[in-house]
Amino acid sequence: MQPQRLLSAGFLLCSLACLWWDAVASRPSKPRGWLGDLRDDLWDLIKSSLPAAAILAFVISAAILGTLCCLTILIGEPVQ
């Protein structure tokens, strides 16, 4: 596989993992372990150091880039 395709696939997997992580975190709360505490601490750090508009812009741009990566992988290379 070409490095560009691997990078695109990696970015797509990271985007999907972040979306999954957010969906899991929004479920009704159960007793959490250290991973949940770490996620909460990181989220508090991000919210306190970045404006809300920057976070929203990052999420939107990541979703657009993930979609474009999917389309690029699905369409493939042009035939010459």
pLDDT in tens, 2-32: 777 777 777 777 777 777 777 666 666 666 6
Domain membership of residue 25 (yes or no) is yes
Domain membership of residue 70 (yes or no) is yes
Asked if 18 contacts 39 with a C-beta cutoff of 8 angstroms, the reply is no
What is the rounded distance in angstroms from the CA atom of residue 23 to the CA atom of residue 27?
7
Counted domains in the chain = 1
**Whole domain around residue 26: which residue ranges?**
3-75
Interacting residues of 8 by C-beta distance below 8 A, sequence separation 6+: 69, 72, 73
Domain membership of residue 28 (yes or no) is yes
pTM of the model: 0.42
Domain membership of residue 80 (yes or no) is no
Domain membership of residue 26 (yes or no) is yes
Interacting residues of 21 by C-beta distance below 8 A, sequence separation 6+: 39
